Structure 1
Amino acid sequence: MSVASASVVQYGRRKGSSREVTSAEVNNKPNLPVDLHEVTVLPKSEWRRIQDSVNRVNKQHERLIAAARQREAMHLHSKEVVKNWSNTIAGQWQKKLEAKKIREEIEEEERKQIDIEEAKFQEQKRKDAIERAKTLQYYQIDRVKGFHSALLMTEVLKEREAQIELKKRKEKASKDVDKEILAVITRKEALALQQEWLKALEKKQKALAVAESLKQQIKEHEQAREEEIMEQKEEAEDVKRVHELFIKEQTTHEQKKQEEKRNIMKAYQEHLANKKSIQAAETEKQELEEERRKIFVKAKGKMMNLRKEKEAEILREVERHREAVFEKLSTYHQEQTKNEEERISKAAAEAEAKQDKQQREKDEKKAAMLKSISEHREAVQKELEYKKQEEKQKAIEMLNAKKASDIIFLQKQLLKAQKMKEAGKMLQDTYVQQMAEKHAQEQHLKNQEQEFEAKNAELIAEDENQFQNYAKHVIQKASEAQRNTSLLRKATKEGIGGGLGPVFRGIRPSYLVQDQSGVQLPSYACSTTQGIKELNETTDFQKSKKRLGFTW
Structure 2
Amino acid sequence: MLALFHTYKRNSFYEFKRGRHKYFSRKIFTQISHTYHSNMVIKTLPIPSTTIPVNSQLGSLITCLLVSCPPVRRLPDATALRDMCIITKSDMNRIYENLNRRQRDKDAIRQEMEQKKEMLERSTQITKDWPNTFAGDQERKLQRKKIREREEEEKRQLLDLEEEKLAAERRREYLEKAKQTRYYNTDRIRTFHSSLLLTEVLKEREMQVEMKKRMEQMRQTSDNDELKRFQEAQEQFDKTEREKNAKRAKERADLAQYHLTQINRRKTHYIQEKQRDRQEGDEYRRLADKSLLDFIESMRTRKLKQKQTKEMYDKAMEQKQKIKQIEQKLDEEEEDDIRTYAEVKMRIARLRREKEIDLEQQKQNTRDETIGYLGSLLKRAEADNESQIYRAQAEKDAKAYREEQEKYEKQQQMLDSIEKHRLQSLKRRQFDRGMEEREDAELRRRKAQADHLFRLYQKEKEKEREQNIQLLGQIQQRQARDRKERERALKENEIQEIQLDKQMNEVERQQYLEYTGRVMSYLEDNGRDIHPMQRTVAEEMKRFDNFNHSSKKTETPRNGQEEKKSSSHDRPSLNDTKKHLGFQWEIPQK
TM-score bucket of the superposed structures, by smaller chain? 0.3 to 0.5
TM-score calculated relative to the size of structure 2: 0.45
TM-score calculated relative to the size of structure 1: 0.47
Rg larger in structure: 2
